[in-house]
Structure 1
Amino acid sequence: MTTLIEFLLMILGIARYVILIYFALSWLITFQVLNLRQPIVARIWYTMVRLTEPVFAPVRRVIPPMGGIDWAPLVVILGISVIEMLLRQNLYTF
């Protein structure tokens, strides 16, 4: 059972990094440091959107963007942190 929990923790860690990359890319594209007309940037960006949108969409329905700021990545990262804490606390009880 601990192997399953460790696997889940690894998946949550990967998800956290994907969200952080999405967040950084969105800011770089917004401030025109990166350009979506470049094929590699566009391919990475659309891949990140496809990976994160299934997680962000339900959060965006509950918490819409306020003042032009999308709060979905922050809420999802906080949720991942809470799940990780719960899994770590119960890692050795199984």
Structure 2
Amino acid sequence: MQGLYALYQIIEMLTSVLVMLIIIQFIIGLLFAFNVISPSNDFLLAFYNSINRLLDPVLRPIRNFLPSTGAIDFSPLVLIILLNIILIILGNVIYS
């Protein structure tokens, strides 16, 4: 039982890191969109592109499933909700 609890904690930590990356990607994207930070800032552009390359394989299937909403991308929100649902289900299975 302790092994399952340790596995749950590892999954919870990885989920938290993934959610933080999604939030950082969203904030940097907003800063670029509203010209608060210039897209010519090489460091932030490289950082933003790195996060996009990490998250794109996870977000692409969700984007393909969701209907097109124009400029607004709801796939990060859907991913965060799905990750939280998975954590709740795993937590209930392990603690019961």
Please give the TM-score of this superposition, normalised by the length of structure 2. Answer: 0.88
Aligned residue pair count? 93
For residue 68 of structure 1, the aligned residue among 65, 68, 71 is 71
1:64: Cα distance to partner?
A: 3.9
Identity among equivalent pairs (%): 27
Task: Output the CA distance in 2 between the equivalents of 1:3 and 1:62.
Answer: 33
Structure 2: 5+ residue runs without aligned partners? none
Q: Which runs of 4+ in 1 moved over 3 A?
A: none
Within a 5 Å distance, the mapping from 1:14-93 to structure 2 comes to 14-93=17-96
| Deviation per residue, 1:27-83 (Å, 9 max, x gap) | 111111112211111111111111110111001111143032111111101111111
Structure 1: 5+ residue runs without aligned partners? none
- The one-letter code of the counterpart of 2:61 is P
For 1:13, the equivalent position in structure 2 comes to: 16
**Richer in helix (by share):** 2
Root-mean-square deviation (CA, aligned residues, Å) is: 1.3
Kept in 2: contact 1:9–1:87 (CA 8 A): no
